[in-house]
Structure 1
Amino acid sequence: MHPFATDLNRWFRENARDLPWRAPGVGAWAILVSEFMLQQTPVSRVIPHLTAWLDRWPTPAALAAASPADAVTQWANLGYPRRALWLHRAAEEITERHDGVVPRDVDQLLALTGIGDYTARAVAVFAYGDRHPVVDTNTRRVLARVVDGCSQPGSPSRRDLEAMAALLPEDHADAALFNAAAMELGATVCTARRPRCDACPVASRCAWREAGYPDTGDSRRRQARYEGSDRQVRGVVLKALRDAAPSAVPVDSLAAQWPDRVQRDRAIDSLVSDGLIELEDDVATLPRGRRSLSEGVQTHLASTP
């Protein structure tokens, strides 16, 4: 095993955070839901939502039997609510195509709604123990510093997977541990703005440290300010609909106090375009989805004890 992986795995075994998706026996569905929720959302906010979600919908079939409106409402304030629609649709696809079992194959996972390369590999590795490189933003930063000697990674590319694959242990369990350890290091020690190099278990192997910590610039795109943004008014509109669900709400009363009427209307139009709300006769509701479950979902539910 590469010395970098040896040192990092040893550190992770002693310092890994106690997170619910890392608990022994956690299944593929729970891991898949957690990966959807963790996209662009801090761990501390995800944990209570994940627990509530899995209590309500412990299987893909259970979520598939619910309406998209239920999914958007349960998503609450996690942000980027299209993820709730994507997760609901993925649950339908898992139930219809895979008899309610989250697939193991990366290509089958990639064929599901809302799942990209990172999530597909994460499920295959952390749920099923398969050997693949898993690369998120934190991993990319660790690789940029330790391997390339850069303060920040460049734009995401296939090279990231190749770099991680070159370090991946041959043993499947060690490989899964190394994937998780690299992400953990980036999230807790090798952070974007204030890295704790004195606490880093691989500081002696870090090319960035060896080079004297050169500042190669921060190429990450800055997120636009939330206050007063279209994102904020979208959130106000969705909250009003969640609070009123399942009742409809007159469009004119949605975010009625928002100071910029044009911006409010633009936000409502974008929510309609994203499938997050439905409009009919000047009233709005959360998405109702298909009027009945597909034959595949019905068959699975009927055969489930």
Structure 2
Amino acid sequence: MSLAGAAELAGTRHLADLHRSMQRWFSEAARVLPWRSPDCSPWGVLVSEVMLQQTPVVRVLPVWEDWLQRWPHPAGLAKEPSGEAVRHWGRLGYPRRALRLHAAAVVIAEEHGGKVPDTHAALLSLPGVGEYTAAAVAAFAFGRRETVVDTNIRRVHARLVSGLALPSPSLTAAEMRLAESLMPDDVALSVSWNASVMELGALVCTARSPKCSECPVRESCAWRAAGEPPPTYTPKGQAWHGTDRQLRGAVMAVLRAAESPVAREIFERPAADLGFVADGATVPLAALHRLNSAPEQLERALEGLVRDGLAEMHDGGLRLPA
């Protein structure tokens, strides 16, 4: 279906039926998640949105709970060294997100009286907060009518309205216009619509094995009506094994476990050396050494972590940023 067709759909009773069907389905099928609780603070919602980027819910839950117990308010995190945010980020991956959350907490504490700002524009001014995160927090934490578009929502829109197996590899202006045309006018319903379409993409309208028989709007799906045509491209997954990303993750695991700077030569120890003692605790090295990385790759990883602000040199060793 073209954008013009979507616009025509938006002016009909059919779209209202879609909104109601999705709202009913969401009320029955939605996962119970702590950041969806009415008691969850806007800070909790912001933390969840950053953690959930490129990371599944099952991995985020324990880390999110630890963060909110440790830092229930932005001011608490702002008082800590940025390295503590990285340490307690654990194995979520993409740890620069921890640095961005720390930087956002500092701005919230210093410029917003310790409260997460409640408008899209103000949220967008926070360090590391982009269009998606600003819209999602404004909608889910403050009940604003914002057009929220993540990977799951894009996929549902592509199939339901455009008849495509997958959305384009990157977000387009046409997709944003489509998403806006599908939004309910009612503010409360718009929040529910965003959440329900996102949940449908996560649980039912998945990328590889969509469960069409469980879809509440399958009778309206343009992709099914078109005979479920295959994707026009093959999505490229990110490589992991043997990459610099894997090595950086292993180095970060050592730094998180160490309370004091780790000498560079320790990273180069032979694979038989399973760990070292620092401040009375054994810091494991086995996972790092199992990678058997080339010296130049290790050097590149160490230099990259320092350059990205995830580690720093101190007393001749490497540590999390202070």
How far did residue 105 of structure 1 move?
1.5
- The residue aligned with 2:280 is none
Q: Write the distance in 2 (CA, Å) between the matches of 1:22 and 1:183.
A: 13
Counterpart of 2:44? 30
> Structure 2 matches for 1:209-224, cutoff 5 A?
209-218=224-233, 220-224=235-239
Q: Is the 8 A contact 1:139 1:182 kept in 2?
A: yes
Counterpart of 1:193 (choices 199, 203, 208) is 208
Is 1:248 equivalent to 2:261 in the alignment?
yes
2:312 matched to 1:278?
yes
Which of 199, 202, 205 is matched with 1:184 structurally? 199
Amino acid at match of 2:220: R
Distance verdict in 2 for CA 1:180–1:54, change over 3 Å? same
Amino acid at match of 1:140: R
- 1:14 is paired with a residue whose SS is helix
What secondary structure does 1:279 align onto?
Answer: strand
Does the CA-based 8 Å contact 2:18-2:217 persist in structure 1? yes
Aligned counterparts of 2:136 and 2:233: Cα–Cα separation in 1: 26
User: Hey, what's the Cα distance between the residues in 1 that align with 2:197 and 2:74?
Assistant: 29
Greater alpha carbon shift after TM alignment, 258-267 vs 73-82:
258-267
Give the number of the structure with larger relative contact order, counting CA–CA contacts within 8 Å between residues 6 or more apart.
1
Gaps of 5+ in 2: 1-14, 270-288
Q: Give TM-score scaled by structure 2 length.
A: 0.86
- How many pairs does the alignment contain? 286
Give the residue type in structure 2 aligned to 1:132: E
Post-superposition Cα deviations, 1:79-113, rounded to whole Å, max 9, x if no partner, equal: 11111111000100111111111001111111111
- Which residue in 1 is equivalent to 2:158? 144
Q: CA RMSD in A?
A: 1.3
Please name the residue that 1:128 is paired with: 142
Report how far residue 3 of structure 1 moved: 1.9
Q: Which runs of 5+ in 1 are unaligned?
A: 289-305
- Which residue matches 1:107? 121
* Aligned residues with identical type, % of pairs: 49
Equivalent residue for 2:17?
A: 3
* Residue of structure 1 in register with 2:272 after alignment: none
Contact 2:311 / 2:318 at 8 angstroms: preserved in 1? yes
Q: Verify: 1:157 aligned to 2:191, yes or no.
A: no
Cα deviation, residue 215, structure 1: 1.1
TM-score by length of 1: 0.91
